[in-house]
Every structure is written in structure tokens, then in C-alpha cells.
Amino acid sequence: MTPAPLRLAYVSNARIPGDRAHAYQSVLVCEALRQAGADLELIHPRRRGITGPARHDELARLYGIRERFQVTQLYSLDLIDLFPRSLQRPWFLLQALTYAVSLRRYLADKPDVLVYVRDPHTLHFLRVLRAPFGGRIVFEAHRVPRGARARRLMSRALADTACIVVLNQHLAGRYRELGVPEAKVAVVPSGVDRRKFERRPAPAAHRQALGIPGGVPVVCYAGSLETEKGIYTLLECAGRLSDATVVVVGGWPPVGPALRDFCRRHRITNVRLTGQVTPLEVTDYLLLADVLVAPNSAGSPASAEDTSPLKFFEYVAAGKPIVASDVPALRAAAAECAGCAVVWVRPDDPESLAAGIRMALRQPPPPCSAAPPDWLSRARDILRHIASHRPERPGS
């Protein structure tokens, strides 16, 4: 007798559709889990400016997905954007709490549904609210708490999980330290959507549209503009690469004016800031570039150790030379791509980064001998892990 498909409620406290990596990854993972055979429902909160559940046509246009899956929007009290970023944390916690209350109500009468959570605040609040999901929560961890109190709260919240998924071996070790049995932890790195690289505009045409002269090397970074990602190291590096154009693709957090002011004060004139673009448009910039950079800072454990960066796998899929900070998280990502040749540089060092870029332009390392992991293979690994820890159905 064929077992019934896993019923998953994929809980994402993200603005969907949205321009953050959280939303992008959530949608692609849901599509892949559905393709892999799960009976899946994506549940996201109501946020300011988003009046209804995400529609398939919106998700297809922004993220390039094809598979349909159920999408449900639940109430949350969202006042976050009414306040400056430095004052947003209490309002974020209120939003996360009200979303968790809605989740508890919505899922309470669905005892055969496994609840897939990828946000630690949602996990914590479901425990505080005594949500009746004991033993049927799957937690996907993207970071590990550092403070003693946060670690205690996380350890308690993890007690009710069926199993957890982490992005790399470093995170696996950290969660074992929090008391999670080794058998309950699966290491499943991020993936790449290879469809994004099909039928894109010719790089030469894109270069012309951007007004970048032919023959000028293009160095590209795509991702968050958080300081922990090494964005200021890259800008300082650009000042040492006067014969190249450095293109910075991304717009979150919205610090474009601060970056432009930094360039103006330091007389850096060869940087292009694109602002926020859609995930599909990011691909055009990757294919345009001569070198792709991942300048993660070693000063942030989340950036140096915890992450399994989406952009790194997309860099590999683009087939361009990669220059990256020599930090554990990026080393782990490179290890997932067989034969991946990367020019490694000292993190937080503009001169080392500039030297690495010059080397990659002069003597490009060979492309990877194998494709990076994709979302569907990742989804199958996740479903196998969940199935091995699937709780008994009520009444069975």
C-alpha cells in the first residue's frame, strides 16, 4: 500500500510576494517540496500593502516558478514600517506574535499536518502559546542564537520538534550543543534554480543598456546590503580597481543613499548601485559580469559561519570566476559544488579583495566540474529526513 503524501504547512513569516531572500527561498522551497510529492500549503502573514494571499501568477512572474501549490494568508498586526529601523524590533515581535496566534488557531484542528517553520521567533511564540503541535514541527534553522538567554529559549522550543534541517555542518554542531539528538539533524544546504539561466538577454545587450563600455571589466555583487555581507569592504576595494566597473545589485536594507555618500566622500566613481531588482533580473547581472564577488565579513558569525548563501550557488550556476572571503560558510558552500575553483581572499581586507579580483580577471579559475545542488534534490533530501521522523498519526 502506497503511503499517503506528507501534508506540510510551510510557515513563512515573510512579506510574500517580496524582495527579500527569505521570501524568495520560501517560494522556491515550496515549489520543490510540491514537485517532490508533498501535499503542501504555504502560509504567510498579512503585511502592510499586501491585501490577499500571494497568487500563482505573481509568484511565477517574480520568481519564475511553474508548479502550483496552495497559498493561505493569515492575520498579523504589522506596524513595523511605521517606525525607523532602529525602533522596529518591538513592533516586529508584536507582528510575529500575532502571526503565531493566527497560526495556532488555523492549524489547531489539522492534527495530521506537519508544521514546517523556518523562523525562530515563530517557533518560540508557538511554544509560548502552547500550540498543540507537539512532535509535528519541523524547524529549518538559518542561524543559531548566541546569547545565553536566547540559547535557553531556543533549546526549550526545540524540545517539541520532530526534527530539524540546517544549512551546514557548523550549524549542525551548534544545534547538537543545544541538546538536539544527532539523528534529528539533517544538513541540507541551499540550492539554485537553474531555470533562471535559460533564455536570458545576451550579456552584451545588457551591458549596452547599462551604458558600460565594451572592454571594461565588470565586477558584480548581488545580495543584501547589510554590513555583515562586506559591502563597505567591496566599496573600498572598488577604489583600487579604477579600470573596472563594480555593480552592486540589491536594495535591502534601503541604504543606497549611505552607500552613495560613502563613494562620494572617498571619491569612488566606478560603482553602480542598481537598487532592488527581481530575482530573475539578478540573473542578467550575473551573466553580464566578468567576476562575481562574495565579500562576507568575518566579524559577523551569522555571515561567516551560519549562512548557506543563495548567491554563492547562483554564482556557480552562472559559470563566472568567483572571488570570496575565506570564511567557513563560503568554504562549506564551495564544497557542495564539485570541482568549484574560487579565488579566496582575506575577509574585511579591501586590498586582498582587489588583488583577488585582479587575479581572477587575469587568470580566471576553471568553472565547476559539476552543477550546484538544485531545489528539487534539496526538497527530496528534506522529505526523506522528515519521513524518518514522522510522528504516528492520531488513532494509528
Three-state secondary-structure class, residue 153: helix
Q: Specify whether 59 is located in the same domain as 170.
A: yes
Report the range of poorest mean pLDDT among 210-214, 371-375, 392-396: 392-396
Helices (H), 43-111: 56-63, 89-107
Question: Is residue 59 situated within a structural domain?
Answer: yes
Q: Specify whether 280 is located in the same domain as 296.
A: yes
Looking at this protein, which amino acid is placed at residue 64?
G
Question: What is the chain's length?
Answer: 396
Q: Specify whether 251 is located in the same domain as 382.
A: no
Count: domains in the chain: 2
Q: Specify whether 162 is located in the same domain as 229.
A: no
CA atoms within 13 A on the CB side of 80: 18
Task: Note down the domain range covering 199.
Answer: 194-362
Average pLDDT of the chain, as a whole number: 90
Question: Is residue 396 situated within a structural domain?
Answer: no
pLDDT above 90 (res 208): no
CATH of the domain at 128: 3.40.50.2000
Q: Which 8-state DSSP code applies to residue 327?
A: -
Would you place residue 392 in the very low, low, confident or very high pLDDT band (cuts 50, 70, 90)?
low
Q: What pLDDT, on the 0 to 100 scale, is given for residue 396?
A: 43
Residue-wise pLDDT tens digits, 76-95? 999 998 998 889 999 999 99
Would you place residue 212 in the very low, low, confident or very high pLDDT band (cuts 50, 70, 90)?
confident
Long-range contacts of 240-243 (CB under 8 A, 24+ apart): 240/350, 240/351, 240/354, 241/270, 241/354, 241/357, 241/358, 242/270, 243/216, 243/217
Q: Specify whether 97 is located in the same domain as 154.
A: yes
Residue-wise pLDDT tens digits, 15-24? 999 878 889 9
CA 130 to CA 314: how far, in whole Å?
Answer: 40
Query: Within 10 A of 51 (CB to CB), how many other CB atoms are there?
Result: 8
Question: Is residue 368 situated within a structural domain?
Answer: no
